[in-house]
């Protein structure tokens, strides 16, 4: 209950603080307010079905799949493990909104942190829905689809390996004191109740999914509120001159991807519209960076992992994607 209260107070504080900031920046006329409302509701309506899906998958994993079963299917070879974690997205059609609760469930089940982070970062890019939407947007430039897939695989594996090397023995999940208990669910709900043959597992799945959903929703609302404010205040037309420099445009597009917080299943169409003003390599970076790190999933990460780990992960993702973008640029893309 205390965690829910803290989460609610956190949401209220973020909205209040951001409202004042946005007002000072000029979001006080009717047209901008309408734009704000439309963008905010669009992102929330688009994201909620995927969060529900992710929460249900997480709950099913917690209730029906044992730790022993997960341990048996984890590859013993690290190379196979990282590539498997990245490529599983080909049969896992979920975006970044759904992947965080699933990743939390995997870590609780004993999946190594490096594999789980690779999975979390790759799936929103390497999944059939995103690949098809990217192909639809860039039907006349199929190389963009290939670049996005390869960049997503290389980037997610690189981040996963670096995180694994820096992990040590510390547990980075929030509420990690609950992971060691013997309850049916590591999220902390119904702590004193264990699964047996008389347990109604469907009820437990629903109970877990609802709790998981509302835990994530608080951070989604806060992140979406901030991201929407930036979208309304900032116009990319003011930065057209940046497109003349390859490196500068890559940095700008990374920042833009972080701020806009567009679902990975729709960002390709935004990327296509930006291709007229910015370089091929910078748009490719936009399509790789957004699904891995943006404002809304940063907030959701803060609800899942300890703050220090989120900062470390954000820095590593930024450096890895920046490096990939630099390689794209010097390769002439």
Structural contact between residues 54 and 215, judged by C-beta atoms closer than 8 angstroms: no
**CA-based torsion, 8, 42, 48, 233: positive or negative:** negative
- Residue 270: name the closest of 18, 27, 50, 42 by CA: 42
Checking if the pLDDT of 203 tops 90, the result is no
Per residue in 148-167, pLDDT (tens digit) is 999 999 999 999 999 999 87
Checking if the pLDDT of 181 tops 50, the result is no
Residues 6+ apart with CB under 8 A from 217: 48, 51
Q: What pLDDT band is residue 296 in, cutting at 50, 70 and 90?
A: confident
Per residue in 40-51, pLDDT (tens digit) is 787 677 667 767
How many percent of the chain have pLDDT more than 90?
21
Query: How many Cβ atoms sit within 10 Å of the Cβ of residue 133?
Result: 18
Mean pLDDT on 104-115: 86
- Identify the DSSP state of 140: T
- The DSSP code sequence of 2-22 is HHHHHHHHHHHHHHHHHHHHH
- The whole-number pLDDT of residue 233 equals 66
Checking if the pLDDT of 287 tops 80, the result is yes
Tokens for 213, please give them: 């959903």
End-to-end CA distance of the chain: 52
Looking at the DSSP bridge assignments, the partners of residue 305 are 173
Number of domains in the chain: 1
Residue 173, φ and ψ in degrees, nearest 5:
-70, 145
Q: What pLDDT band is residue 184 in, cutting at 50, 70 and 90?
A: very low
Instruction: Report the range out of 51-55, 124-128, 148-152 with the highest average pLDDT.
Output: 148-152
Query: How many Cβ atoms sit within 10 Å of the Cβ of residue 35?
Result: 15
Map residue 262 onto helix, strand or coil. Answer: coil
Please give the residue range of the domain that contains residue 147.
2-330
Per mean pLDDT, which range of 113-117, 221-225, 301-305, 316-320 is the poorest?
Answer: 221-225
Structural contact between residues 130 and 124, judged by C-beta atoms closer than 8 angstroms: yes
Residue 265 to residue 226: CA distance in whole angstroms: 21
Mean pLDDT on 112-126: 91
Residue 322 to residue 318: CA distance in whole angstroms: 6
- The whole-number pLDDT of residue 244 equals 62
Residues 6+ apart with CB under 8 A from 223: 261, 294, 295, 296, 297, 298, 299, 300
Per residue in 8-45, pLDDT (tens digit) is 565 566 666 666 655 555 555 567 777 777 777 876 77
Sole residue written with tokens 């003011």: 238
């Amino acid at each position: 209950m205390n965690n829910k209260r803290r989460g609610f107070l956190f949401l209220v504080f973020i909205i209040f603080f951001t409202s004042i900031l946005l007002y000072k920046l000029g979001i006080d006329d009717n047209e901008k307010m309408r734009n704000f409302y439309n963008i905010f509701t669009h992102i929330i309506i688009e994201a909620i079905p995927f969060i529900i899906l992710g929460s249900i998958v997480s709950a099913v994993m917690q209730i029906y799949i044992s730790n022993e079963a997960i341990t048996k299917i984890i590859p013993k070879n690290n190379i196979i493990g990282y590539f498997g974690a990245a490529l599983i997205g080909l049969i896992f059609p979920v975006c970044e909104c759904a992947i965080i609760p699933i990743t939390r469930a995997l870590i609780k089940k004993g999946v190594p942190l490096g594999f789980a982070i690779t999975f979390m970062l790759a799936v929103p890019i390497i999944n059939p829905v995103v690949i098809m939407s990217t192909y639809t947007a860039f039907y006349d430039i199929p190389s963009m689809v290939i670049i996005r897939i390869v960049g997503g695989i290389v980037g997610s594996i690189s981040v996963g390996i670096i995180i694994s090397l820096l992990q040590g023995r510390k547990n980075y999940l929030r509420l990690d004191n609950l992971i060691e208990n013997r309850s049916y669910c590591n999220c902390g709900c119904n702590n004193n109740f264990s699964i047996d043959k008389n347990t109604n597992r469907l009820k437990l799945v629903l109970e877990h999914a609802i709790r998981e959903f509302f835990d994530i929703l608080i951070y989604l609302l806060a992140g979406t509120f901030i991201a929407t404010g930036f979208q309304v205040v900032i116009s990319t037309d003011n930065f057209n001159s940046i497109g003349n420099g390859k490196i500068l445009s890559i940095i700008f597009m990374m920042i833009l991807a972080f701020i806009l917080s567009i679902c990975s299943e729709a960002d390709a169409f935004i990327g296509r519209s930006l291709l007229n003003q910015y370089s091929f390599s910078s748009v490719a970076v936009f399509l790789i960076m957004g699904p891995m790190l943006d404002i809304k999933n940063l907030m959701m990460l803060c609800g899942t992992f300890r703050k220090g780990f989120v900062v470390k992960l954000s820095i590593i993702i930024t450096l890895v994607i920046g490096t990939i973008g630099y390689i794209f640029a010097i390769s002439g893309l």
